[in-house]
A and B are shown apart, each in its own frame.
Chain A
Amino acid sequence: MVKITPTICSFCNNGCGMFLRSDGKEAIGVLPIINHPVSEGRLCHRGWNRYQNLRSLNRLSFPLWREDSCLKEVTWPQALEKTKEKISELISRHGPQSLGVIGSSWLTNEDNYRIALFCRNILETSNLDGSYRFSGAPALAAFRELFSGPFGSLGSIPALGESRTILVIGKESHRDFSAVGSRLIKAFLHGSAIILADPLCVHKEHFFKYLLPYPVQSLPALFRDKKSLPPDVIEHLFQPGLALIFIADQVDSASSLVSLLQSLSQGSPTKNDLPLMLPLSRSPNLKGAWDMGIRPGDGGLTLQEMLAEESEVKGLIIFGDDLLNHLPSSSTLGKLRSLEFVLVADRFFTETARMAHCVLPIPLLAETEGTMTNSEGRVQKLRPFLDPQKESRSVAEILHDLSRHLGKDFPVFSGPEVRNEISKNISPYEKVASESDLEGVGGILLPASKAQLHPEVSEPQEQTTEENKYRLLVPNSLYAWNRNQMILESPVLRIEYPGERPAVRMSPLDARELKIRMGEKVKIRSDRGEALAPVEVDENIPSKVLMLPSHLIEVVESLAGKGERDATTRTLFFPNLFVTVEKI
């Protein structure tokens, strides 16, 4: 019997509407919802193939417990009792701050709210974070903490097609996020000026009117100075109604985004006119996880701080997140190994789950009832489409059972009950308690508030270009699609996202000039040090630019030191720098 369920896609944070189809037993197909306000019947190739990973046979099926260095199948009561013993022991020996909890942007708002509550009220620790913050936090913080109002001034995806000028930061913004990209094409067809800023762009596509080949950090100075920009770029940029699209994952510090906004608003004729912004992310519930409180409480540690060698954290409880796949530092592995207790509740047997002391199976998003918040602040319902696997238990049940074992009371709130709580406690979410509004196609759009710029922001210093030196970019590639578990579990998408060799990427022009062949190692030298790295020749890299993925952390650290911490979010980033390259 064919079953058709309207739901939303959970690959990125655009929140496209789709029907998932099943034959009663397993997923058989996907169809975009034509009258969905975000996607209007369109999907990207991930969305069109979303049903495939739902058929995966690599699901976690049973609770596992580590015994004699092997993970062995146990019953739920055994797993929960042993977990309780470990947690109680850690708290009695080191206090509650020895525990850290990790939420996730691959969980619903309701589950993240429950996790935050569990962390505060049951474990009484303030060490709560999620790996999503490594890539999206600076952008979120720029909205949340440097603007008045809950989340600053978000643009609307449907209205984007009407914008007269659109500044796109990062060439992947349009194609990787098709709901936004289709509005960009629509705007182009209506004669809007579309300006692309991306240092990693070899040639602009024809619908981009201008290409600004600069990283985000350089743009504020360029926009203030105005002299180095063509006059019509200035004319287009500094007018009311500008829309700004950027990939939140690539904004490495809150200050770089805020100073960009500042430069745009100060240059506009009416002053303080802020562009409408759309922070795109490969984390589907980036905004929801943040809004539900998946971030450190007062005095709490960030995930990076929890995983630092000197950290006081001895036990980590991880929900729906594959830290080893998402975090750049090789020291993550060492720290996870050294922890006295790691619990992973996830859907697949991920790299992190393989390291854990206890592994608990939770349902897929397609088996879960709940809501997610998209990039424009639209709260939409995920409807359970498949029956959960027999042995998996929802996050709500796990938290309730664990609390009971710990001798505390954590009620199993139903979805509507949690939304009721959220509506009372989280200010822009007042309307989510209305089940009838949520049931509608497109869900509920959170109210946007008028943003005001924070006056005091220090601007990042851009280093000057030196002849014969290469600009070394360390983009945040934490959420590279080819590491996404949903993609790894899909035969067609696995082909679309082949694994990349860990290497520094260089333009064919430069490789030819230096007589370097693919795979050959080169010596890269910066002011701080030097390192050897293999070269991957990439036609999509402009000349005199090197791209070094942050996963090659040893190389990055040799050249850029330990990186810098964003003042607002305390997340780590590596400012771009200039290096020389030598053939060995």
Chain B
Amino acid sequence: MEQCILHKRNLNDWVELMLGGYQVFVPSRVYGEIFFLPHAGELEFDLLNGTAVLPYLPPKDIVFPQSETMFSFSRDAGDIDFSVPEKAFEKSVILGIRSCDTIGIHWLDNFYSNNFRDFYYRNRRDNLTLITVACNQPMKNCFCICCEGGPFLDPEKDAFDLQLIDFDERYLVECNSEKGKALIELNPGLFSQPESAVVEARDQLEQKSRTLFLPEPTSYMSTAIRRITSNSVPPEVWTELGERCFDDGGCSFVCPCCSCFGVGYLSHGETGCHYRFWDSCDYSGFTREVSGHNPRAEKGERFKRRFFHKLSYQYVKRDGRIGCVGCGRCITACPGEVGMPAVVERLRRG
């Protein structure tokens, strides 16, 4: 890993250089809410400092869009033409992504690369560089500290590209990949060597951030993992939690780790397309078979399945971590107030 210093006054110049070869997604306010949008106009610096800012729509949407056309077809005089949209696969950068969302994308990398290599995901992901901004100050719903999802990325174990750590007027830049290095090399003159005091202060900043999490969302994951893995959660607890689930799918959609999709067809006359869209294991149709039989017809069963996938050691062993990064979006999205921390707390109580 390499470390260097970037003055915030040079950030605009750096982004301008990136725009020469990349599409740069930056956090931007639209009608008061924050979205990652292609950079146009001025950078909003308050969204790029050490205070956590999580757009409600997770940046996984950039690599795994809420809906995307896989191919279109049309028939003209007997010949059938197929076309795959390729414009979406240009080189891109996400500037200002937070550690939880970065790790969420790393989790998706596993899903879309192991066993099978997903053409659409991989084409986007291979062309994407992530510039993470570490969180010196978490938000009220954040609990990444319980899930190894932040507040800083760990250069020893997280294979990130670049991490910016906010030191008021400057960023300490940590570069951990070739893709990250390529961005620095756009103009190495914008960066300087860090003085040793800054490097030492980095760990103190991280330690301080770890003390700033609020008690409510902070979750005792280990008990939940143990109880789920050993199948010692009584069925009535899953029923109770399932009754609070509205089957809305919101938690899956805003979760940086959820990777499930469905496939739809649209056709009219001789033209049409095949597209995929975010799907959710909350939905009763998700597991219903063509015969009409549904192995998880009970809501409690579907709920159990979701949390089994998120927290069971079976998946930790396979994927290297739990399927939650502690971003807290599910707390906002869940109408039944059974987001991850509430469920973990319920499981802990037994």
Tell me, yes or no, whether B337 is within 8 Å of chain A by CB: yes
CB-based nearest A residue for B247: A45
Contact residue among A43, A185, A491 (Cβ-Cβ distance under 8 Å from B244): A185
* Cβ distance A271 to chain B, nearest Cβ, rounded Å: 35
Given A33-B33, A492-B285, A52:B277 Cβ within 8 A: yes
Quote the shortest CB–CB distance from A338 to chain B (angstroms).
Answer: 32
Question: In the bound complex, what is the Cα–Cα distance between A206 and B241 (angstroms)?
Answer: 9
Flag whether B61 is at the interface (Cβ < 8 A): yes
Once A57-B268, A185-B337 are accepted as A-B contacts, the answer to whether A178 and B277 lie under 8 Å apart by CB is: no
**Bound CA span A6–B248, Å:** 20
A33, B247: Cα distance in complex, Å: 19
A-B contact count (CB 8 A): 125
> Given A44-B248, A182-B336, A492-B285, A29 and B66 touching (CB < 8 A)?
yes
User: Nearest chain A CB to B287's CB is how many angstroms away?
Assistant: 11
Give Cα A52–Cα B276 distance, bound, in whole angstroms: 11
CB contact between B288 and one of A57, A186, A495 (< 8 Å): that residue: A495
Provide the bound-state CA to CA distance between A189 and B342, in Å. Answer: 12
Query: Chain A interface secondary structure, helix, strand, loop or mixed?
Result: mixed
Most A CB contacts (10 A, CB to CB) among B33, B264, B333, B337 go to B33
Chain B residues with CB under 8 A of A492: 262, 264, 277, 279, 283, 285
Size bin of chain A's contact surface: 35 or more
A141 at the interface (CB under 8 A from B): no
The answer, yes or no, to whether A320 is at the interface (CB within 8 Å) is: no
Q: How far is the CA of A35 from the CA of B31 in the complex (A)?
A: 10
Chain A residue numbers with a CB within 8 Å of B336 are 181-182, 185
Smallest CB–CB gap between A430 and chain B, Å?
26
- A175 to B334, alpha carbons, bound, how many Å? 12
Q: A56 and B332: CB pair below 8 A?
A: no
Which single residue of chain B is at the shortest CB-CB distance from A33?
A: B33
The verdict on A330 contacting chain B, using a C-beta distance below 8 Å, is no
**Which residue of the partner chain, among B263, B267, B285, contacts A57 with CB atoms under 8 Å?**
B267
Residue pair A28, B67 in contact (C-beta under 8 Å): yes
Contact with B along A95-138 (1 / 0, CB 8 A): 00000000000000000000000000000000000000000000
Q: A417 interface residue, CB < 8 Å from B?
A: no
Asked if B244 contacts A207 (CB within 8 A), the reply is yes
- Given A41-B56, A181-B335, A205:B277 Cβ within 8 A: no
Is B116 in the interface zone, CB < 8 Å from A? no
| Best-buried of A2, A19, A182, A492 by chain B (most CB within 10 Å) | A492
Residues in chain B near residue A28, CB distance under 8 A: 65-68
Chain A hits for B57, CB < 8 A: 29, 31
Q: Which of B275, B332, B337 sits near A41, CB closer than 8 Å?
A: B332
Q: Does B250 count as interface, using CB distance less than 8 angstroms? A: yes
Given contacts A28-B67, A41-B56, A48-B250, contact A186 B262 (CB under 8 A): no
Tell me if A496 is interfacial: C-beta within 8 Å of chain B.
yes
Q: Are A34 and B56 in contact (CB under 8 A)?
A: yes
**B309 to A: closest C-beta gap in Å:** 19
Q: Is the CB of B30 within 8 A of A4?
A: yes
Q: B262's closest neighbor in chain A, by CB?
A: A492
- Beyond A4-B31, A19-B31, A185-B335, whether A31 also contacts B56 by CB under 8 A is yes
Beyond A31-B57, A44-B248, A52-B67, whether A186 also contacts B337 by CB under 8 A is: yes
CA–CA, A45 and B252, complex, Å? 11
Q: Are A178 and B246 in contact (CB under 8 A)?
A: yes
In this complex, which of B67, B264, B275, B279 has the most chain A Cβ atoms within 10 angstroms of its Cβ?
B67
Chain B's nearest CB lies how many Å from the CB of A280?
14
The reply to whether the CB of B13 lies closer than 8 angstroms to some CB of chain A is: no
Chain B's closest residue to A5 (CB) is B31
Q: Mark A192-206, 1 if CB is under 8 A from B, else 0.
A: 000000000000011
Q: Taking CB as reference atom, which chain A residue is nearest B264?
A: A491
Q: B247–A51 contact, CB under 8 A?
A: no
In the docked arrangement, what's the CA distance between A182 and B240, Å?
16
Task: Give the 6 A-B residue pairs with the shortest CB-CB distance, closest first.
Answer: A491-B264, A182-B335, A29-B66, A495-B285, A57-B268, A205-B243
Sample of 27 A–B contacts (CB below 8 Å): A2-B38, A6-B31, A28-B67, A29-B57, A31-B57, A32-B333, A34-B56, A34-B332, A42-B333, A44-B246, A44-B248, A45-B280, A48-B248, A48-B249, A49-B277, A55-B266, A57-B266, A57-B267, A58-B268, A178-B248, A205-B243, A207-B243, A441-B31, A491-B264, A492-B262, A495-B285, A496-B285
For the A-B complex with A45-B249, A491-B265 known, give 4 more contacts whose Cβ atoms are closer than 8 Å. A33-B33, A45-B283, A48-B253, A491-B264
A residues with a Cβ closer than 8 A to B are 2, 4, 6, 19, 21, 27-35, 41-45, 47-49, 51-52, 55-58, 175, 178-179, 181-182, 185-186, 189, 205-207, 441, 491-492, 495-496, 498
